[in-house]
Structure 1
């Protein structure tokens, strides 16, 4: 365009020398018009170039956006698949947890049934002992201690002071105990001797340990004489070391001198079952 303008200008100069004034003015006007057109066209061209650059930038941004959206779509599809897997796994785990809870409930119910059965047996045993032995004597107590039935007999009922020989009255009382034991072949009787803290001075025995043990074995032998099965009988001496009250008065010492007969159900299988179930529950929880 510039070359054309220069050419026209040169031609105009050359022709100005050989054309009339009027013709020259006309040519000069055309040249100015052409120059203005050139300038306008140049401005428009520059504007188009700027618009093109902006459009190219927009296209590049849109292309990048399209790529990002495609990646987002792929990520969402992958996440959806992962979520589906996790949901399936969660449902499976929940189902397993529910099954485990059901199994635990069944085990707990079995344990509760066993405990209820044991409590029923204990109650029946207490009733039987109270009926046979009676409760008219303050020196005879029938009670339950930590789920175990026992008869507590004062030494005044069974023995003379410092002696392990049974009194005449002992035959009557122990005969009733033997009757209960004989009616319960699945039970054991633990005979436990207790003394006060007065040192034993009879040369036949060493100390209160000996005295308490001799009293326990004397009761066991008497129960055997009265027909109790020796397999069901256990003898134990506790000496002065499990007092009910402080050995500070004669009355308290009399309370501590006693013989306890625990009547224990032969429930080894029951306790074994409980221990097994509890162990299983503990292992499942861990």
Structure 2
């Protein structure tokens, strides 16, 4: 409509330019023309603003669409994370239950070890008490009985067992060895290790080259007496020589050398029981 008025205005101007128009009429037409010019300018400005608003709205719409896509992606990522978390929680519950089972198995295993050790300690104490009560006062001067780390050590002075430089057992040692053998028979679940020890004085004889030989031969002699004279099962026993290299005192004095010249009967629980427990140890996964 505004463009139509504008066209009429231009037409009137053309007419006025080709014909003679009264002044009053001309003034009216001029006023009308000015109004049309103003309307045209306002309309053109409105059109420009409208186009700008349209572009702005289109830009906002595009941004909203992009935001909507990102929101959907974020929601999907959140859902995926939640699903993984639920799976992890389910797996975690399984792992916790498995861990509890492993802890219970380990506790049972530890309990068995403690019970086995307690049993061994109790037997060691009983064995030691029985042996010391059976020995005379004179025998106790040459026999030392003690328990170290779950093992019973019976240390016998060599001057009671052997003559100097010899590995033949003295007859006077038989009474003491018989008392030890009686204890060993009552404790059949224990192994017996006999160790010979010497001082650092060199020795050289036809059948004894050095202190290694002497200590090993003396240990072997005690084992054979326990087997042949007192019926101790040889499968339970072993003999070893330590020579001069396992002293319990210095060799600078005669008293120190006397203490080092000894034969030890070492009584230990059978390792089979503990090895069985070790084999039964619960396995854990890394």
- TM-score normalised by length of structure 1: 0.87
Q: Displacement, 1:285?
A: 5.1
Q: Say which of 268, 272, 286 aligns to 1:269.
A: 272
Q: Which runs of 5+ in 2 are unaligned?
A: none
For residues 52 and 221 of structure 1, the distance between their equivalents in structure 2, rounded to whole angstroms, comes to 116
1:45 aligns with 2:47: yes
Q: Say which of 226, 232, 241 aligns to 1:229.
A: 232
CA contact (8 A) 2:12 2:29 kept: no
DSSP 3-state at the match of 2:59: helix
Residue range with higher mean Cα deviation, 105-114 or 210-219: 210-219
Residue range with higher mean Cα deviation, 130-139 or 174-183: 130-139
DSSP 3-state at the match of 2:71: helix
1:64 aligns with 2:31: no
For residues 233 and 43 of structure 2, the distance between their equivalents in structure 1, rounded to whole angstroms, comes to 131
CA contact (8 A) 2:150 2:268 kept: no
For residues 135 and 97 of structure 1, the distance between their equivalents in structure 2, rounded to whole angstroms, comes to 58
1:243 aligns with 2:243: no
Q: Say which of 149, 163, 167 aligns to 2:166.
A: 163
- Structure 1 residues 57 and 221, CA gap change in structure 2 (3 angstroms): closer
- Structure 1 residues 135 and 118, CA gap change in structure 2 (3 angstroms): farther
DSSP 3-state at the match of 1:248: coil
For residues 135 and 147 of structure 1, the distance between their equivalents in structure 2, rounded to whole angstroms, comes to 26
Q: Displacement, 1:4?
A: 4.5
Deviations 1:85-128 (A, max 9, x none): 12212222222222222222222222222222222222221122
DSSP 3-state at the match of 1:162: coil
Q: Say which of 122, 126, 146 aligns to 1:143.
A: 146
Q: Displacement, 1:260?
A: 0.9
Q: Displacement, 1:226?
A: 4.1
Which residue of 1 is the match for residue 123 of structure 2?
Answer: 121
Which residue of 1 is the match for residue 77 of structure 2?
Answer: 75
CA contact (8 A) 1:220 1:235 kept: yes
- Structure 1 residues 147 and 45, CA gap change in structure 2 (3 angstroms): same
Q: How many residues align?
A: 280
- Structure 1 residues 34 and 99, CA gap change in structure 2 (3 angstroms): same
Superposed CA RMSD in Å reads 2.3
Residue range with higher mean Cα deviation, 133-142 or 103-112: 133-142
Q: Which runs of 5+ in 1 are unaligned?
A: none
Q: Displacement, 1:149?
A: 0.6
CA contact (8 A) 1:178 1:226 kept: no
For residues 135 and 64 of structure 1, the distance between their equivalents in structure 2, rounded to whole angstroms, comes to 103
Residue range with higher mean Cα deviation, 204-213 or 37-46: 204-213
CA contact (8 A) 2:167 2:217 kept: yes
For residues 22 and 5 of structure 1, the distance between their equivalents in structure 2, rounded to whole angstroms, comes to 16
DSSP 3-state at the match of 1:262: strand
For residues 243 and 51 of structure 2, the distance between their equivalents in structure 1, rounded to whole angstroms, comes to 116
Q: Say which of 183, 204, 212 aligns to 2:186.
A: 183
Residue range with higher mean Cα deviation, 164-173 or 129-138: 129-138
Q: Displacement, 1:238?
A: 2.2
Deviations 1:117-168 (A, max 9, x none): 2222222211222122256633210012332112101112222222223334
For residues 116 and 166 of structure 1, the distance between their equivalents in structure 2, rounded to whole angstroms, comes to 36
